[in-house]
Amino acid sequence: MNRLFFLCIIFIIGASCTLQRGSDSIFNETVNLESSNHKIEVDPSNEKDDTYGPNLAIEAEQTQNKISQRKPVIALDLVPALYASLGYITLFRELEKKKIYPNIINTSGFSLVIATLYAKYKSASKLEWKVFALLRQLKGLKVHTSDWYQKIEGFLKEEFKHTRIEQLKVLITVPSSSVKRHLTTTGQLVKVVMQSIKISSSNSFINRPHYEYAHKINALGVDLNFLISAFPDRFNFKIPNGFAWGLYTRVSGVFNGSGIEILKIRNEIEFVDTLPNLSDLLINTKSDVTFISDKVSQDVEDWINKNN
Q: What is the pLDDT of residue 24?
A: 47
Give the class (CATH, top level) of 73-307.
alpha beta
- Name 81's Cβ contacts closer than 8 Å, sequence gap at least 6: 87, 109, 110, 111, 229, 230, 231, 232, 272
Q: What is the pLDDT of residue 82?
A: 83
At residue 79, does pLDDT exceed 70?
Answer: yes
At residue 5, does pLDDT exceed 60?
Answer: no
What percentage of the chain reaches a pLDDT higher than 70? Answer: 60
121: exposed, middle or buried (C-beta count within 10 Å: 0-12, 13-18, 19+)?
middle
* 288: DSSP letter: H
* 3-class DSSP assignment, residue 87: helix
Q: What is the mean pLDDT of residues 82-94?
A: 90
Give Cα separations from 187 to 174, 183, 211 (angstroms): 11, 12, 23
Q: What is the mean pLDDT of residues 91-115?
A: 94
Pairing of strands 171-176, 182-184: antiparallel
At residue 221, does pLDDT exceed 80?
Answer: yes
At residue 54, does pLDDT exceed 80?
Answer: no
Q: What is the mean pLDDT of residues 56-77?
A: 69
Q: Which of 123-137, 151-165, 269-283, 291-305 has the lowest mean pLDDT?
A: 269-283
At residue 32, does pLDDT exceed 50?
Answer: no
275: exposed, middle or buried (C-beta count within 10 Å: 0-12, 13-18, 19+)?
middle
CA-to-CA distance for 249 and 235, rounded, in angstroms?
A: 9
Q: What is the mean pLDDT of residues 239-257?
A: 59
Give all strands (DSSP E) within 2-132, no chain letters: 74-79, 104-106
CA-to-CA distance for 76 and 302, rounded, in angstroms?
A: 18
Q: What is the pLDDT of residue 285?
A: 73
Q: What is the mean pLDDT of residues 201-229?
A: 77
**Range with the largest mean pLDDT of 89-93, 138-142, 208-212, 248-252:** 89-93
CA-to-CA distance for 33 and 31, rounded, in angstroms?
A: 6
Instruction: Give the global pTM.
Output: 0.72
Mean pLDDT of the chain: 76
- Please check whether residue 230 is in contact with residue 87, taking contact to mean a CB–CB distance below 8 angstroms: yes
Q: What is the pLDDT of residue 17?
A: 52
At residue 27, does pLDDT exceed 50?
Answer: no
Of 196 and 276, the one with more pLDDT: 196
- Please check whether residue 109 is in contact with residue 205, taking contact to mean a CB–CB distance below 8 angstroms: yes
pLDDT band at 166 (very low <50, low <70, confident <90, very high): very high
Of 36 and 280, the one with more pLDDT: 280
- Please check whether residue 296 is in contact with residue 262, taking contact to mean a CB–CB distance below 8 angstroms: no
Q: What is the mean pLDDT of residues 207-227?
A: 81
At residue 68, does pLDDT exceed 50?
Answer: yes
CA nearest neighbour of 157 among 212, 194, 202, 206: 194
CA nearest neighbour of 186 among 204, 174, 194: 174
pLDDT band at 93 (very low <50, low <70, confident <90, very high): very high
* 53: DSSP letter: S
Q: What is the mean pLDDT of residues 216-241?
A: 79
Q: Within a 10 A sphere around the Cβ of 67, how many other Cβ atoms?
A: 8
